[in-house]
């Protein structure tokens, strides 16, 4: 392996480590829902509000960090955000009631969101546009692997030490990543002090990105497609642990198996991109996602869908998301270079904000929201794509067509 190849591999690993901060924060404590509910004398659905609160904080925080990543470079905002995440993770471990846990989860998300938005922005810093979809697939592979490990680790910690130690481990992981980033990740984007942080200027720069037909179409369509993953994450403890009375350990194993669909979709995407464009893969995967969501809806409503059938449909549904997510991100961000931090933040805000609404509805409404959310989000994604595509014209895919927005 040549020196440039080694450097590229190391950068990918560091960006991947940043991408797993939030998945670990979400997935590791899912098996502890029933245990936390028992300790706080509440329901599993109520505990899921701490998850939807994390999604809300994650969505809001990205809009804050986007301009900061462009103005101050990538690394300094990363340091601040990860330090906040570590402190608030310890706060979660010490929470004595549900309200305190929810507050610290919100603050934890505000800090931790910088990891993923920074990593996505740095894909544009270190790699050419034509490689973006493949790089995103590799990063999302690391995101996808984390749900294989996190619930199993979480259930083991709950059984051996108690649920509070999950958050101690999350703080330890984030601190380790922070040290690695400090010493080994190069600065991908020099500080740009022409980026103004006054709210009117920030809103104007976000608006200029948002009104780009290519960004708007694929960011929104990708957001609603990806919201199905949020629905699965928020609803799976209710469906499997409450509905099918799975144990904590059995749920962790089931969750890990199903997430293999997301991982498989990511890796299938790398192969498909050798023969097809990102737009073709995105459309085909979205059509299959819609069909799967509709089958799930009618199967659950008619009570004809048992545990095995539900798992098969979940697996296919997550495979589709593994295909749509990296392609939507790559196409949406392709026109932007110097504004990659803000474009990445807005993309993440739309995706996470949509997911937060879905997760919140599940936390409030329970299992019925899960059944309806999966087909509804996929259908909305398809409608947005079909409406938006005629307004795009020629898809921007190369660096020669990059757009630099006014600051």
**For residue 336, what are the β-bridge partners?**
403
**Among the ranges given (10-14, 85-89, 362-366, 375-379), the one the predictor scored with the smallest mean pLDDT:** 362-366
Task: Return the higher-pLDDT residue of 166 and 392.
Answer: 166
Task: Return the higher-pLDDT residue of 275 and 127.
Answer: 275
* Residue 365 confidence (pLDDT): 66
Which CA distances in Å does 292 have to 182, 247, 376?
Answer: 44, 27, 11
pLDDT tens per residue across span 382-402: 999 999 988 887 776 654 444
25: tokens are 């924060």
* pLDDT over threshold 60, residue 2: no
* Mean pLDDT for all residues in the chain: 83
251: tokens are 């749920």
* Residue 1 confidence (pLDDT): 45
Spatial contact of 141 and 259, defined as CB atoms under 8 Å apart: no
Q: Is residue 27 part of a domain?
A: yes
* Residue 338 confidence (pLDDT): 61
Q: Is residue 134 part of a domain?
A: yes
* Residue 78 confidence (pLDDT): 92
| pLDDT band, residue 363 (cuts 50/70/90) | low
Mean pLDDT within 362-366 = 65
- Give the global pTM: 0.71
Structural domain containing residue 355? 3-401
Q: Is 364 left (phi over 0), alpha (psi -120 to 50) or beta?
A: alpha
* pLDDT over threshold 90, residue 370: no
Q: Is residue 406 part of a domain?
A: no
Q: Which residues contact 107 (CB under 8 A, 6 or more apart)?
A: 57, 84, 88, 91
CATH of residue 93: 1.20.1250.20
Q: How many CB atoms lie within 10 A of CB 401?
A: 12
* Residue 399 confidence (pLDDT): 47
> Could you tell me what percent of the chain has a pLDDT over 70?
89
* Residue 3 confidence (pLDDT): 42
Mean pLDDT within 128-141 = 74
* pLDDT over threshold 90, residue 367: no
Q: Is the dihedral of CA 332, 337, 343, 345 positive or negative?
A: positive
Mean pLDDT within 112-125 = 84
Q: Is residue 314 part of a domain?
A: yes
Q: Is residue 407 part of a domain?
A: no
Q: Is residue 167 part of a domain?
A: yes
DSSP string, 101-168: HHHHHHHHHHHHHHHHHHHHHHHHHHS-GGGHHHHHHHHHHHHHHHHHHHHHHHHHHHHHT-THHHHH
pLDDT tens per residue across span 177-199: 999 998 888 887 777 766 766 77
Q: Where do we find the tokens 């059938």?
A: 309
Domain count for the chain: 1
Q: Is residue 17 part of a domain?
A: yes
* pLDDT over threshold 50, residue 377: yes
* pLDDT over threshold 80, residue 359: no
Mean pLDDT within 154-165 = 89
* pLDDT over threshold 50, residue 328: yes
């Amino acid at each position: 392996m040549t020196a440039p190849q080694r450097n590229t591999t190391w950068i990918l690993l560091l960006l991947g480590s940043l991408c797993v901060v939030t998945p670990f924060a979400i997935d590791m404590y899912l098996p502890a829902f029933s245990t936390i509910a028992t300790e706080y004398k509440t329901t599993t659905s109520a505990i899921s509000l701490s998850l939807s609160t994390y999604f809300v904080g994650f969505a809001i925080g990205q809009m804050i960090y986007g301009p900061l990543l462009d103005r101050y470079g990538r690394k300094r905002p990363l340091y601040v955000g990860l330090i906040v995440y570590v402190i608030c993770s310890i706060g979660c471990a010490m929470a004595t009631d549900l309200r305190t846990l929810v507050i610290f989860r919100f603050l934890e998300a505000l800090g931790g969101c910088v990891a993923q938005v920074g990593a996505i922005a740095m894909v544009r810093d270190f790699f050419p546009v034509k490689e973006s979809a493949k790089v995103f697939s590799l990063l999302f592979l690391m995101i996808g692997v984390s749900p294989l490990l996190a619930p199993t680790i979480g259930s083991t910690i709950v059984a051996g030490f108690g649920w509070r130690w999950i958050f101690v481990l999350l703080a330890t992981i984030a601190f380790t990543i922070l040290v690695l980033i400090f010493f080994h990740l190069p600065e991908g984007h020099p500080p740009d002090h022409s980026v103004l942080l006054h709210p009117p200027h920030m809103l104007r720069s976000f608006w200029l990105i948002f009104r780009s037909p290519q960004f708007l179409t694929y960011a929104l369509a990708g957001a609603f497609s990806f919201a199905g993953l949020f629905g699965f994450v928020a609803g799976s403890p209710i469906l499997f642990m409450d509905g099918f009375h799975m144990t904590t350990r059995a749920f962790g194993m089931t969750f890990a198996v199903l997430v293999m669909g997301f991982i498989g979709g990511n890796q299938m995407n790398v192969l498909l991109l050798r023969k097809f464009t990102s737009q073709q893969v995105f459309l085909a995967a979205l059509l299959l996602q819609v069909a799967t969501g509709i089958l799930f809806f009618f199967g659950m409503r008619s009570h004809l869908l048992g545990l095995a059938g539900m798992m098969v449909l979940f697996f296919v549904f997550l495979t589709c998301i593994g295909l749509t997510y990296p392609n939507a991100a790559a196409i949406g961000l392709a026109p932007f270079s110097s504004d990659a931090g803000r474009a990445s933040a807005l993309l993440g805000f739309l995706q996470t904000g949509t997911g937060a609404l879905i997760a919140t509805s599940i936390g409030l409404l329970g299992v019925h929201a899960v059944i309806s959310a999966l087909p509804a989000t996929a259908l909305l994604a398809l409608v947005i794509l079909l409406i938006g595509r005629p307004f795009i014209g020629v898809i921007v895919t190369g660096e020669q067509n990059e757009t630099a927005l006014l600051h």
